[in-house]
Structure 1
Amino acid sequence: MDLLVKLHRLFLKAENLLLSGLLLSLILIAVTQVAMRNVFGGGLLWADAYTRISVLWLAMLGAMIGSRRQNHLAIDVIVRFLPARWKTIATRLSNGVTSLICFAAAWFSWDFLARESAYADIAFANIPNWWCEAIIPAAFFVIALRYGVAAILPQNQPV
Structure 2
Amino acid sequence: MRPARLAVLAVRVADRVLAAVEAVLVLVLAAMTLLVFFNVVLRYGFDTGITVTDEVSRMMFVWIAFAGGIAVSRRQQQLGIDVLVAALPPLPRRLAHVAGNLAVLACCLVLVSGAWTQMQLNWRNTAPVSGLPTAITYAAPWFAGIGIGCVALANALGAAFGLTGGIMASGKEDPGA
Short-chain TM bin? 0.7 to 0.9
Consecutive aligned runs of 4 or more in structure 1 exceeding 4 Å deviation: 1-10, 156-159
Question: Corresponding residue for 1:69?
Answer: 75
Q: Unaligned regions of 5+ residues in structure 1, if any?
A: none
Question: Corresponding residue for 2:144?
Answer: 139
What letter is aligned with 2:108? C
The more displaced of 53-62 and 83-92 is 83-92
What letter is aligned with 1:13? A
What letter is aligned with 1:133? Y
How far off its partner does 1:116 sit? 1.0
Q: Does 1:79 align with 2:71?
A: no
What letter is aligned with 1:155? T
The more displaced of 121-130 and 131-140 is 121-130
Tell me the distance in 1 between the aligned counterparts of 2:14 and 2:157: 18
Give the conservation status (yes or no) of the 8 Å contact 2:125–2:134: yes
How far off its partner does 1:13 sit? 2.9
Helix, strand or coil at the partner of 1:42:
coil
Q: Deviations over 1:98-152 (max 9, x none)?
A: 11111111111111111112x4323654422213431221111111111011111
Tell me the distance in 1 between the aligned counterparts of 2:87 and 2:38: 51
Q: Does 1:155 align with 2:164?
A: yes
What letter is aligned with 1:114? Q
Tell me the distance in 2 between the aligned counterparts of 1:121 and 1:15: 27
Alpha carbons of structure 1 residues 77 and 8: separation in structure 2 relative to 1, 3 Å: closer
Question: Corresponding residue for 2:117?
Answer: 111
The more displaced of 21-30 and 67-76 is 67-76
What letter is aligned with 1:74? G
Identity %: 23
What letter is aligned with 1:121? T
Q: Report how many aligned residue pairs link the two structures.
A: 158
Q: What TM-score, normalized by structure 1, do the two folds share?
A: 0.85
RMSD of aligned Cα (Å): 2.5
Q: Does 1:97 align with 2:103?
A: yes
Tell me the distance in 2 between the aligned counterparts of 1:77 and 1:46: 47
Tell me the distance in 1 between the aligned counterparts of 2:76 and 2:12: 21
Structure holding more helix per residue: 1
Give the conservation status (yes or no) of the 8 Å contact 1:67–1:146: yes
Task: Give the counterpart of 1:26 among 23, 32, 40.
Answer: 32
Question: Corresponding residue for 1:37?
Answer: 43
How far off its partner does 1:5 sit? 7.3
Helix, strand or coil at the partner of 2:58:
helix
Q: What TM-score, normalized by structure 2, do the two folds share?
A: 0.77
